[in-house]
Amino acid sequence: MAGRKRTAVVVAVSAVAGLAAFLLTRASLTDDAYITLTYARNLAEYGQWGLIPDVTSNSATSPLNVLLLALGIVITGLFGDPQPIVALGFVTVGATAALGWAWARMSARLRFPTSVALLGVAVVVVNPFVLSAIGLEVLLVPAALAGFAAATVERRPVWFGVLAGLTVLVRLDLVVFVVVVFVVATARAVGRRWWQAPVAMVVVALPWYVFSWVVFGSAVPDTLVIKQSQDGLFDPWTYASGIGMYLDGATVAVLLAVVPAGMGVIASLAAVAARIAVPEPPALGAAAALGAGGMAYYLAYVLLGVGPYHWYYVPPLTALAMCAVLALGAWWGQRRGASADGEHGRDRESGPDGTRSGARHVGRRANPVVAIGLLGVIAAVVATTAVVQAQRGVPWRSPTIFGNWASAEDYARVGTELGRRVGDAPVRSPGEIGTLAYFCECRIVDVFSDRGRIPGLLEERLSESGTIGSALLEANYLWFDRDREPLAPEYRLLYSSGPGRGPDTWTVHSDARGVGHFTLVRIR
């Protein structure tokens, strides 16, 4: 298939897959997705970076996701009332299209079939951890990772830097991937032009983080301090063991998500072994780097000591799954390329990892049968995963992996009625704030919405951190007003299990918690 036609097909199919993912999940978004949507709506409509009216906060983990959603909301507003959910559809489709574009580029360069590129997209889009967190940056993450992997394969340092800059705007912690991929594969692939990559990355990403540092009082969002302060929330589970927790609730779906990632671990280790044992291995540099980045990211989160929120597993799971597909695709493509070069009686050009190989020599070594078989295994896992996800109903009532106290539909009802009840009076949140804040459009307060509550958390973290950790925290919050007072709530919203009765009480249901109820109580 010709290059442009291949790219158009992969991008179009990927976009359709993104649309399907959005239509499947749009009515069942998780609570944290609504935090992002509320930030985006407030930015688009009021020019405010915050979760509640007239109060600036800095708890949005993904600035690029918020900015893209806000742009989508502005565009929808040109044709009537602004539509944040429609904007989410645009961003979801755009992210999967970008993911497909990166895979099409790698397919052309490494000479593996279009079907393998589509498998690289599918292994991400059907992942239950991804689908259970649509609305967060879970599709922007693999799109960004695949993008700078493609730049590595094509040996384009400036594009690597630009995409790396966008990657750390998706999530700052993805800098782990940027560093690992650059060190493992990119620097060697681009040679003396390596310095162009970090320069381009800084040009793209630094302005936002300087702006956030000075204007919002912290370059790193407050979510780092907030999440590290939630000791005991998931006891006895930690990030290191959290997959086991999710296996208890959604065994089949979680296992299906873990299998391609496990193959990615093996593929990454095999790529390293191939470099050592075989003089002329397939071009596995970018694949090995993605896998190494996924493992390094997982280890970094274990060391940070954060809780096992399911979207935290998306970067390592998708990176490792893509590593498996890319490594096997490169293996298959090496044979196809060797055959094509052999027909023309010439040596293959250098691969993205700098190796050169004669057509006949590679043809003997790179037997693709095993690679094709393993790709078939991944395809079977992807197909099974899609069937399991569809059996939950279309559209979903709740995500496969879910822990909120109420369904999105029930939270929308409670939030709408709560806004009518309290008006402008501050309300202390019950512990989950995103969907309530979105539909309430009132002053519902906790550490995510009220920065007056951050100084206390910051002092706790400073007292528990070592010398280096404390210095980094002090630097991050150099411009933060630590004398800021928290908002004084007039009401509090309480959650209890079981049905509720009486005034200012709303009975709700969650597939994770069963029947429960919220009660609005005036604070005296």
- The verdict on residue 216 lying in a domain is yes
Final residue belonging to a domain, choices 390, 425, 455:
390
Rounded average pLDDT per 10-residue block, the chain, 524 residues? 83 97 96 96 96 93 97 95 95 98 95 95 97 97 96 95 97 96 92 95 97 95 88 86 90 94 92 65 81 96 91 97 94 67 46 40 58 94 94 90 94 96 94 95 94 92 89 94 91 95 94 95 89
- The verdict on residue 395 lying in a domain is no
Q: Which residues contact 30 (CB under 8 A, 6 or more apart)?
A: 132, 133, 135, 136, 311, 399, 402, 404, 408, 434
Question: Residues 145, 229: one domain?
Answer: yes
- What is the model's pLDDT at position 458? 92
Question: Residues 91, 31: one domain?
Answer: yes
Residue 505: beta bridge partners? 519
Listed residue (416, 422, 400) closest to 134, CA to CA: 400
Q: What is the C-alpha to C-alpha distance for residues 226 and 149, in angstroms, rounded to an integer? A: 32
At 509, the amino acid letter reads H
Rg (CA), the chain: 24
Global pTM?
0.93
Listed residue (227, 236, 167) closest to 202, CA to CA: 167
At 45, the amino acid letter reads E
Residue for token pair 């918690």: 513
At 81, the amino acid letter reads D
Question: Residues 86, 23: one domain?
Answer: yes
107: left (phi over 0), alpha (psi -120 to 50) or beta: alpha
Listed residue (173, 96, 170) closest to 136, CA to CA: 170
Question: Residues 443, 383: one domain?
Answer: no
Question: Residues 84, 209: one domain?
Answer: yes
Listed residue (289, 37, 54) closest to 150, CA to CA: 289
Dig out the tokens for 50 from the structure: 């915050």
Q: Which residues contact 240 (CB under 8 A, 6 or more apart)?
A: 302
The DSSP code for 60 is -
At 7, the amino acid letter reads T
- The verdict on residue 375 lying in a domain is yes
How many domains does one find in the chain?
Answer: 2
Final residue belonging to a domain, choices 390, 425, 447:
390
Question: Residues 144, 293: one domain?
Answer: yes
- The verdict on residue 129 lying in a domain is yes
Listed residue (126, 136, 402, 127) closest to 246, CA to CA: 402
Final residue belonging to a domain, choices 390, 418, 440:
390
Could you tell me the residue range of the domain that residue 513 belongs to?
408-522
